[in-house]
Amino acid sequence: MELRKLEDLELNGKKVFLRLDLNVPIKKGVIQDDTRIKEALPTIKYILERTNRLTMASHLGRPKNGGSPEDSLEPVGLRLSELLGRDVVLYGDYTTDSASNLLQTLGRNQVMLLENLRFHEGEEANDIDFAHSLVDGYDFYVNDAFGTCHRAHASVSRAAELLPEQKRAAGFLIQKEIAALGSIITKPEAPFTVIMGGSKVSDKISVILNLLNSCNHMLIGGAMAYTFLKYKGVDVGSSRIEADKMDLVATIMKNAEARRVQIHLPVDHVCAKEFAETSTPENIANQAIPAGYMGLDIGPKTIAEFSRVIRDSRTVLWNGPMGVFEWANFAKGTMAIAAAMADVRGKTVVGGGDSVSAAHKSGFADKMTHISTGGGASLELLEGKVLPGLKVLMK
């Protein structure tokens, strides 16, 4: 995949529309994690070094009925202002009066941020009129919102198409994501281990089947592991499974056997009688789980085996926790995976979603080669799909 890059554009003095992913967690007006804002800074600063006629745009959450003050990007604008040392002007009337017109009136130390794109139905509907309201009057379109590139939304795909191909480009974050995830798909150094966790096999069937073409080992934990164990005839107690997805598991197992990929499943578990944070954890030393118990984490023998495979690998991709890592009693397995990845003498990639939170919680995030900012986007790219937001940036 060859994308037109930000560096390919002649930006001097030109008007630039920049789509970012500033969808950060906010509680009572306070940003809880500004990672996505900081990830956007290299692209923002590069553009501002060449032109001060910049309009930034992002969605925030899933606002309903036109949004509310709680869904406003105002806290994001204030944080950007602190990080950039510039006045960030939040503009909400861009559907009635083009933001490109207002750019002419901004001072040299000011930059514009559009109010939450999802306040408008036209964003998620990929509406062409809404797309025109976003980019009419601009010289260039730049996208650095990797986490939204799998969405065919107005600001992600339709707006880009309204400018000539040579006037659109990918920012630095998207370039970094494509380089890291792309190398996993095309040329991973062996042994290549994939760690899959989370709740549902059905959510990840396509990416699992695609990765079976190149990996040597696949470690399966989280709730999806109990569906695999059930398929193999192992008792899983009251653990959560997808009873109607056994055909998907069969497909995965047959493909793994045909490609000589070793599937590793838990051999012991940390269980509880109820799905609650305060439940007492109990180690079950066998692969079978007794009736009345549910698996909520992998056990110590599984941790040792999974960690050995990971440390012996040259390439590791991790997507999905090994248990309910948000609860301290059931976090050991997930934290152990992060620790093992930190010891790998090769490339380690965390493929978005809950794994990102787990990596940061573990304290080993800085030991990973790459941590993706895209959940769904990462998975669809790893499936081999061409994402709508990337297709419009291709040369």
Q: Give dist(CA 113, CA 345) in Å, integer.
A: 42
Length of the chain: 395
175: tokens are: 């370039």
353 is catalytic: yes
Q: Cis bond leading into 63, ω under 30°?
A: no
Answer whether 351's CB lies under 8 Å from 369's CB: no
Q: Give dist(CA 39, CA 175) in Å, integer.
A: 12
List 200, 240, 311, 314, catalytic entry: 200
Q: Give dist(CA 220, CA 198) in Å, integer.
A: 9
92 is catalytic: no
List 15, 19, 36, 79, catalytic entry: 36
Answer whether 175's CB lies under 8 Å from 5's CB: yes
Main-chain dihedrals φ then ψ at residue 315, nearest 5 degrees: -135, 130
- Residue 346 contacts by C-beta under 8 Å, 6 or more apart in sequence? 189, 313, 314, 315, 316
List 92, 137, 237, 376, catalytic entry: 376
Per-residue b or e along 349-363, where b marks 16 or more CB atoms closer than 10 Å to that residue's CB: bbbbbbbbbbbbbbe
- Residues noted as catalytic: 36, 200, 353, 376
